[in-house]
Amino acid sequence: MLSIVTITLKGIFRDRIFQGIMVLSVLFIFIPSVASLSMRQVTELSTTLSLSLISFIMLLLAIFLGATSIWKDIERRYTFSVLSLPVSRSTYLVGRFLGIAIFMLIAALFLGSAAIVSIKIASLTYPPARPLLWSAIITSIVFDALKYIIVVAVAMTLATVSTSFFLPVFGAISTFLAGTVTQQVYDYLQTPSAQAAVSVVVRKSALVLYYLLPNLSGFDLKVHAIYAIPLNTQGLLLSAVYFLIYIGIVLSVGALLFARREMK
């Protein structure tokens, strides 16, 4: 397993993806200047822009690494040589996933450091109305990484059954978009107006989707980081447990599907 993780990481670095991230991180330099256009919340806008940039880069990484990893291996017939070794398909899948997940965390660490420098510069030039809550900023970046690791797991699971990269790529994008709104839809359906306007069938279907799709809203802590709002420790703990269990379920399904896949 460890060797698959190492090979995955080496492969990602060999593809010069990290260099690409380093080039994109140049954008952090411009954030304090752009944020200075704000009238009353320069530091807050710097934090918003920094966290959104991290989020955007991580989304691209999650979709393309998660969706193409397994598909590329099958396409190039690497899987035949790897699976001829005493390695089970499940170990191969989990090893690949862990390699990408570790890379996502390394990317978050690098991008997070650049963001912290950018936010610090903005806060020194235009001190915020409330002191910055660094713990919330760091936690927000970590939970952002966890969110995109879930997207990686979904993309990889879809790749185990797909014969092209369209399903994992578009499936992951759709899951991400749906996962960010399921909580809002759920909240809406609980309101009296929705109870009256929406049919029972639609409400039940939405409820099934709510439990089936990943709830990514729990990992979005940007508002806490931007406006220095204290975090709820119990909520964070629950989100972390949710992350572990959801990843476990998705990868188990992926391993089951991959085990049954015919490879010619």
Contact residues for another protein, defined by CB under 8 A: 37-41, 44-45, 48-49, 51-52, 55-56, 129-130, 147, 176-177, 180-181, 184, 216-217, 220, 222-223, 226-227
Measured from the CB atom, the residue of 48 and 162 that comes closer to another protein is: 48
What's the rounded Cα separation, in Å, for the pair 221 and 237?
13
Contact 165, 68 (CB under 8 A): yes
Q: CB of 222: closest distance to another protein in angstroms?
A: 6
Q: CB of 199: closest distance to another protein in angstroms?
A: 19
Our measurement of the distance from residue 67's CA atom to the centroid of its chain's CA atoms, rounded to an integer in Å, reads 13
Contact 222, 48 (CB under 8 A): yes
Q: CB of 56: closest distance to another protein in angstroms?
A: 8
Locate all alpha helices (DSSP H) within 84-165, ordered by sequence: 89-125, 134-161
Measured from the CB atom, the residue of 51 and 250 that comes closer to another protein is: 51
Q: CB of 173: closest distance to another protein in angstroms?
A: 10
Measured from the CB atom, the residue of 57 and 93 that comes closer to another protein is: 57
Q: CB of 147: closest distance to another protein in angstroms?
A: 8
Tokens at 57, concatenated: 């880069």
Contact 60, 21 (CB under 8 A): no
Measured from the CB atom, the residue of 1 and 124 that comes closer to another protein is: 124
Measured from the CB atom, the residue of 73 and 144 that comes closer to another protein is: 144
Tokens 């698959």 label which residue?
Answer: 4
Q: What is the DSSP letter of 116?
A: H
Measured from the CB atom, the residue of 155 and 226 that comes closer to another protein is: 226
